[in-house]
Structure 1
């Protein structure tokens, strides 16, 4: 087991976007670009940074196509932009 300080631990993540949001932003982004890294956007922080739905609650793919029928209301299609705007 290795103990790292909060700064080093945050930079040791697989997500370069998450690491860049914490400290040493220019260095982290420069290194990621030079190395051709790709971010899987699996965490909350990365998705917030780029303005996407977070992978939790109604942001999970299985809930995006959920249809709820309410008596007296007409059903309509809801897309990701509708959800993000609310």
Structure 2
């Protein structure tokens, strides 16, 4: 938004300055995932999802998976494919 600031000194002289504060650029990023696979004894292994470092915004970035706590770690292990 736009804001006007007024300044008055001890002698009554005044000045003003207009300032516009803009919204930050929207944060955008991408992610990649390894497919689920089975190990030698046919047990399903987890998939790893890695969030790429955002190309906008301001570092440092933190990440959250499924509403969990935010952390600086960009790779999350997914144990279940949701089926």
**Shorter-chain TM-score range:** under 0.3
What is the TM-score normalised by the length of structure 1? 0.19
Bigger Rg, which one: 2
Looking at secondary structure, tell me which structure has more strand per residue.
2
Looking at secondary structure, tell me which structure has more helix per residue.
1
What is the TM-score normalised by the length of structure 2? 0.20
Higher RCO (C-alpha 8 Å, min separation 6): 2
